Amino acid sequence: MNEQHMQVFVDATKHYFSHLSNKPATVQVPYLINHDDAVLFDYTGIIGIGGKYRGNVYFTAPETMMQYVLMTQGEQVCSAEFCLDIVGEVANTVAGNARRDLGPEFVISAPIKFAGKPDKMLLGTESRSYAIPIQWRLYTAAIVVSVT
Amino acid sequence: MLIVDDSNIIRRRIERSVHTDTVSVVGTACNGVEAVKMFKEHSPDLVTMDLTMPEMEGNEAISAIIAIDPNVSILVISALADKLTAIDAISRGASGFLTKPFNEQELNEAIVELMEFRKK
């Protein structure tokens, strides 16, 4: 992944949140993270990447942010089940929108969603991983790109 | 209409957002297999179809549904934003393509457009 590739995910993330409300997200400078330093909030949606690329992309966010996203979409139920659903949908939308620039060879899986910390490390061992911090309203979340 | 998406949130959102007089929701499905089964049961005029789903993906479900009823209108609603994906869906028989994220107005305009086209 080079700088241009990272920009694709930054743009896709900004696009998602600007479409959601009139408050655009602020994306901070991406930074390199080690395999053992996975960035994780309360809920995480992870997309496996195949085709010409290998690895994964995940979106991770605190529960309060996911509840706010649900309410913004007119949802009155903000259960843990729905938070898991929407975190997967954000990850899917950001990764899917990235195909506009990366093309159909950027093959994405259906999202795998979880709360808390997984038993196994998420990051691919063969690729460098970048965390992209996202600020939206009062909340901080992150997109982590681990793709080679 | 039949709503097909693996996200319950998206299915509920589409159902809440449809405000046209000519359309009512007859059912929802969370993957392609369930979509084909429900299509056979309800024979809706319109299907909204996600593409990236477990068990059977949307493009396969489009082909299966078109084989049952070539006149059905299928609106693909997907995050996959590249042109080739849209072309593939249309070549399989889909009638329209709406990229996620979408808003209520975009959804209703797309549905009205498909239903108007269907009348002609």
B6-61 per-position pLDDT tens digit:
999 999 999 999 877 778 999 999 999 999 999 999 999 999 999 999 899 999 99
Q: Please report, for the domain that includes residue B17, its CATH number.
A: 3.40.50.2300
Chain B residue numbers touching A74 (CB-CB < 8 A): 13, 16-17
For residue B12, give the amino acid letter: R
Query: Tens of pLDDT along B52-81?
Result: 998 999 999 999 999 999 999 999 999 999
Question: Which residue carries 């992209």 as its tokens?
Answer: A132
C-alpha separations of B31 from A21, A122, B26, B55, B78 in Å: 29, 26, 16, 6, 13
Q: What is the pLDDT of residue A81?
A: 97
Q: Spell out the residues 6+ positions from residue A36 whose beta carbon is closer than 8 angstroms to its own.
A: A121
Give this complex's ipTM: 0.88
Closest to A19 measured CA to CA, from A113, A87, A94 = A94
Strands (E), chain A: 26-27, 31-33, 43-51, 55-61, 106-108, 112-115, 129-136, 139-147
Count CB neighbours of B66 within 10 A. 16
Q: Is A103 on the interface with B (CB under 8 A)?
A: yes
Structurally, chain B folds into a number of domains equal to 1
Task: For residue B72, give how far its alpha carbon lies from the nearest alpha carbon of chain A (Å).
Answer: 26
Q: Return the pLDDT at A34.
A: 81
Of how many residues is chain A composed?
Answer: 148
pLDDT tens for chain A, residues 1 to 148? 777 888 999 999 999 999 888 889 999 999 998 877 778 999 999 999 999 999 999 999 999 999 999 999 999 989 999 999 999 999 999 999 999 999 999 999 999 999 998 766 666 666 678 999 999 999 999 999 988 8
Most B CBs within 10 Å: which of A43, A57, A93, as the mutation test of the B interface? A93
pLDDT at A121: 60
Q: Is the omega angle on the peptide bond into residue B101 within 30 degrees of 0, that is, cis? A: yes
Note the pLDDT of residue B117: 80
Range of the domain at B111: 2-119
pLDDT on residue B40: 97
Judged by a CB distance cut-off of 8 A, whether residue B91 touches chain A is: no
| Residues in chain A closer than 8 A to B7 (CB atoms) | 85-86, 88-89, 92
pLDDT the model gives residue A145: 92
Q: What is the pLDDT of residue A125?
A: 61
Token pair belonging to A109: 């899986």
Answer yes or no: are the C-beta atoms of A43 and A66 closer than 8 Å.
yes
CB contact under 8 Å between A85 and B100, yes or no, is no
Write down the CATH number for the domain with range A3-28+37-119. Answer: 3.40.1550.10
